[in-house]
Amino acid sequence: MSKENDVKKAVILLSGGLDSATCLAYAKSKGYQCYAISFDYNQRHKVELKYAAKIAKKFGVKEHLIIKLNMRKWGGSALTSSNIDVPKSGLKPGIPVTYVPARNLIFLSIACAYAEAKAIREVFIGVNSLDYSGYPDCRPQFIRAFEKTVNLGTKTGVSNKKIKIQTPLQNLKKSEIFKLASSFGISPSETISCYDPSPKGKPCGKCDSCEIRKRAKELFYNEKTN
């Protein structure tokens, strides 16, 4: 077997947010050669792609693919439709209007296609189901069902080489993700999680994502100083 084949490889879903950046750094720390994939889905916060590119560079990915898929063609979310506003009055119970129809299902499907074409069998996604926006496609039961499905519907999956979906942040609190990011030398300011930033990337400070980040940041810094 050639040396090239001995390298552990992984595809990493990279949004430009803190979670996926941490996920990439984590995979890298575990010795994976990383192939990053980001999506220009005509999202409201398209500026995140600039952050993704810088993070990809920082962690020396082997390749960074940016895939265009215009989700405004169907919309149905505050992030992909200009008719729906991003809520800015605090976290509420239930699935918010920033939920994007089938987003992680689509992203994972395309990431697995990319992985399969590169003969890679591990795909990392920074989903987290503790401090999150309540999206159903961040939950472990969805990820496990997806993994089963991809292994039934791909050439790789039906061979004896299964595709594995890795979710290292699944059970971390957001403040723990801050800690992990920090241990990899990632400053939160190198990433963007805001749903409604300015075109230059200034976070709105009021959306659910900004709110979650603010709370976690406070917890993280309180812990550091206490």
Binding site for a copy of itself (CB under 8 A): 65, 67-71, 73-77, 95, 99-106, 109-110, 112-114, 116-118, 136-137, 139, 141-142, 145-146, 148-150, 152-155, 157-158
Q: What's the rounded Cα separation, in Å, for the pair 122 and 115?
A: 7
Residue placing its CB nearer to a copy of itself in the complex, 104 or 175: 104
What minimum distance in Å lies between the beta carbon of 155 and a copy of itself?
5
Cα–Cα distances in angstroms (integers) from residue 200 to residues 45, 49, 182, 203, in the given order: 10, 12, 24, 9
**Closer residue to a copy of itself (CB): 14 or 180:** 14
Both tokens assigned to 212: 């979650």
Closer to a copy of itself by CB, 70 or 189: give it: 70
The DSSP letter of residue 104 is: H
End-to-end CA distance of the chain: 52
**Strand ranges in the chain using DSSP code E only, listed in sequence order:** 9-13, 33-40, 63-68, 122-124, 164-166
Least distance from a copy of itself to the Cβ atom of residue 135, Å:
8
Tell me whether residue 138 or residue 172 sits nearer to a copy of itself (CB atom). 138
Minimum separation from the CB atom of position 18 to a copy of itself (A): 22
> Considering the complex, what minimum distance in angstroms separates the CB of residue 4 from a copy of itself?
17
Tell me how far apart the alpha carbons of residues 63 and 89 are, in angstroms, rounded to a whole number.
Answer: 39
Instruction: Select 29 or 171, whichever has its Cβ closest to a copy of itself.
Output: 171
Residue 163 CB, nearest approach to a copy of itself (Å): 9
What's the CA gap between 159 and 162, in Å, rounded?
A: 7
Q: What sign does the CA torsion over 111, 147, 61, 1 have?
A: negative
